[in-house]
Amino acid sequence: MFRIAIIALLAVMQTSIAQAQTSCNGADPVVNSAVVSGVTPNGQLNVYNIRVTVTNAGSAAQAKDVLQFVDVYMVSQKLDAKGIPPLGPGQSYTFDYPYQRSQQAGNGTTTLRFALDMHNEAPGGDQDCNTDNDQTTVTF
């Protein structure tokens, strides 16, 4: 009986620790999604429209002077950066990112990574209190 109680206590502690690590008091911008919302042929190229959404999943608004971007990468090469305005709690910002590739490219051969990049975050992480959810990928 004592062993069962210890195992149950450990399980509760691990769950509490995991919840504490994924939630925070403050602003928490999250790169929610990046999806292909359309493809347009253009000569020998296809232009893929990637729709990216960032949401403040935190309990506080970001400071009005926060500088933040979503950087776009292919493997480790940075292709671009898109500015994101300060977000209030629950507020989202969506932008479209066009990407050109050959019409001959096979499906599933291109992966882009979209990663949050904070430039003037104050010490203590009050503009992004959980960095575990700051990026996502899309493969097409």
Please report, in tens digits, the pLDDT of each residue of the chain (140 residues total).
444 434 433 343 343 333 334 567 889 999 999 999 999 999 999 999 999 999 999 999 999 989 999 999 999 999 999 999 999 999 999 999 999 999 999 999 999 999 999 886 555 556 888 889 999 999 99
CATH number at residue 130: 2.60.40.10
The predicted model scores a pTM of 0.80
* Residue 21 falls inside a structural domain: no
**Which residues constitute the domain of residue 60?**
27-139
Contact of 131 with 108, CB cutoff 8 Å? no
* Residue 2 falls inside a structural domain: no
* Residue 34 falls inside a structural domain: yes
* Residue 17 falls inside a structural domain: no
Q: How many domains does the chain have?
A: 1
- Looking at the DSSP assignment, which residues form a beta bridge with residue 100? 47
